[in-house]
Amino acid sequence: MNNNLQENIQSLVPLIKDTAKQILERDLCCQTLVVDCVILESLDFVVKIKRSYSKTEEMMRGRKKPELAAEIGLMINQACKNRLFLCLRNRFDLTVADVLLLPSVAPAQFALFCMIKQKPSAPCLQPLDQSLLEVFER
């Protein structure tokens, strides 16, 4: 089962990257600069995204309101996370346990940790390993 799942996820990587890009550009009006997808040994994966700041974020930054700009950026990232979760489940037919927004250094650069259930009896929440943050920094 793991080999089939690994092949399935590997074949979906270009589609997952394109979907994340479409969500940001079409739905959330942010230009994507980089979208990458790293499959982990556990067959979970991390989608790393670097995007432009939205016009609203830029306006708040220009008005010297960085906290508000950061909040708006976090809302954009959360919306991307929620939409990607639904696409993974509904469009790509993956059994997704959860999608977590990993801590980031800037709102316009973030990563999503996608946990895939490999067996129906597998627990939904797995401990978040510190090594995941290293993937984001690569």
**Alpha-carbon gap, residue 108 to 52, rounded angstroms:** 6
**pLDDT class for 36, splitting at 50, 70, 90?**
very high
User: How many distinct structural domains can be found in the chain?
Assistant: 1
Look at residue 123 and tell me whether its pLDDT is greater than 50.
Answer: no
Looking at residue 9, its pLDDT comes to: 85
Looking at residue 106, its pLDDT comes to: 86
23 Cβ contact partners less than 8 Å away, ≥ 6 residues apart: 80, 83, 84, 87
pTM for the model stands at: 0.80
What is the number of other CB atoms lying within 10 angstroms of the CB of residue 34?
11
Angle between helices 66-86 and 2-22 (to 10 degrees): 130
Identify whether the C-beta of residue 40 lies closer than 8 Å to the C-beta of residue 3. no
Domain that holds residue 63: 2-137
**pLDDT class for 137, splitting at 50, 70, 90?**
low
Strand partners, 45: 39, 114
Percent of the chain at pLDDT > 70 equals: 83
**pLDDT class for 104, splitting at 50, 70, 90?**
confident
Strand partners, 39: 45
Look at residue 126 and tell me whether its pLDDT is greater than 90.
Answer: no
Q: Please state, rounded to an integer, the average pLDDT across all residues of the chain.
A: 85
